[in-house]
Amino acid sequence: MRAYILAGGLGSRLREVVADLPKPLASIAGRPFLEYQLRYLRSQGIDRVVMCVGYRYQAVIDHFGDRFDGIEIEYSIEKTPLGTGGALCQALKQFPLDEDALCVNGDSLFAADVAAMRRFHREQKASMTLSVLYLEDNTRYGSVNMDGQQRVTGFVEKSGQGGAGFINTGVYLLAPEFARMCRQHDEGTVSLEREIFPMLAQGGSCYAFAQQQPFIDIGIPLDYQRAQQLIPEIIQQIEAESLCHKIS
């Protein structure tokens, strides 16, 4: 199974702590964040990755090359900023979908059970399934609305007022028809969250799969500091559980 990593982030809010590095290379306990993301993906059975890179992309390529710990790596390069949607659509054009694939953000980690998520995705015959997490305070993230069948009905932008609700964790399962829809957006800057996902929701083919798993977004300095201890702990636990499953 292939995964696409949205790793083109500038990291402007982290500039004071990551200097001039692209955000996905921000150091977590002495290692680049992307190394932890790749270890998570490997634990979920991912063996091929397309990194969607932009700002200072050569630093990412120089660090990882074409393979990391058994995972084959290819690159889709934004020469100008395309936004999350534009970057993914460009990558899907360069590396087409012929089966379900995973997409994850390059600046957050959510320990989703991909196998369970994929079973749900196939049962619903979804074009896209996003993994969601229930929080008592979603101030930083906005929320995802869904009906009783877990079909996504809309997205609420963060307002600063907070409240309880399901948030988008940045882990997505994409069906091949998602790529066909992307052909409408293969030029210019496009947002997944503000343009493509709402379009899918209106078409009734976008579903949400809720899981209560550890989640961390390194996008602001406070959470970046929390991540220094939390991310290595999450990855160690995931890898230990994965090993136990293989042994059993």
Distance, CA of 191 to CA of 98 (rounded, Å): 23
In the chain, what percentage of residues exceed pLDDT 90? 64
Q: How confident is the model at residue 243 (pLDDT cuts 50, 70, 90)?
A: low
pLDDT value at residue 203: 85
In the chain, what percentage of residues exceed pLDDT 70? 90
Choose between 144 and 14: higher pLDDT: 144
Q: Judge whether 148 lies within some domain.
A: no
Choose between 105 and 243: higher pLDDT: 105
**Of 220, 131, 139, 217, residue with least CA distance to 174:** 131
Report pLDDT digits (tens) over 95-140. Answer: 988 899 999 999 999 999 999 999 999 999 999 999 999 999 888 8
State the average pLDDT for the chain. 89
Q: Judge whether 135 lies within some domain.
A: no
Say if residues 213 and 112 touch (Cβ distance below 8 Å). yes
Report pLDDT digits (tens) over 178-189. Answer: 888 777 665 678
Q: Judge whether 154 lies within some domain.
A: no
- Structural domain that includes position 188: 2-130+169-247
Q: Judge whether 71 lies within some domain.
A: yes
Q: Judge whether 138 lies within some domain.
A: no
Report pLDDT digits (tens) over 21-47. Answer: 888 899 999 999 999 999 999 999 999
Q: Judge whether 157 lies within some domain.
A: no
Q: Judge whether 47 lies within some domain.
A: yes
As given in the structure block, the two tokens for residue 71 are: 């995972």
As given in the structure block, the two tokens for residue 72 are: 């084959």
Distance, CA of 8 to CA of 107 (rounded, Å): 10
Query: Among all chains, which residue has been given the structure tokens 């998570």?
Result: 40
* CATH number for the domain that contains residue 80: 3.90.550.10
Total number of domains constituting the chain? 1
Helix ranges, the chain (H): 15-18, 33-43, 57-64, 83-94, 114-124, 176-182, 197-203, 221-247
Q: Judge whether 158 lies within some domain.
A: no
- List 152's β-bridge partners, or say none: 146
Q: How confident is the model at residue 12 (pLDDT cuts 50, 70, 90)?
A: low
Choose between 208 and 79: higher pLDDT: 208
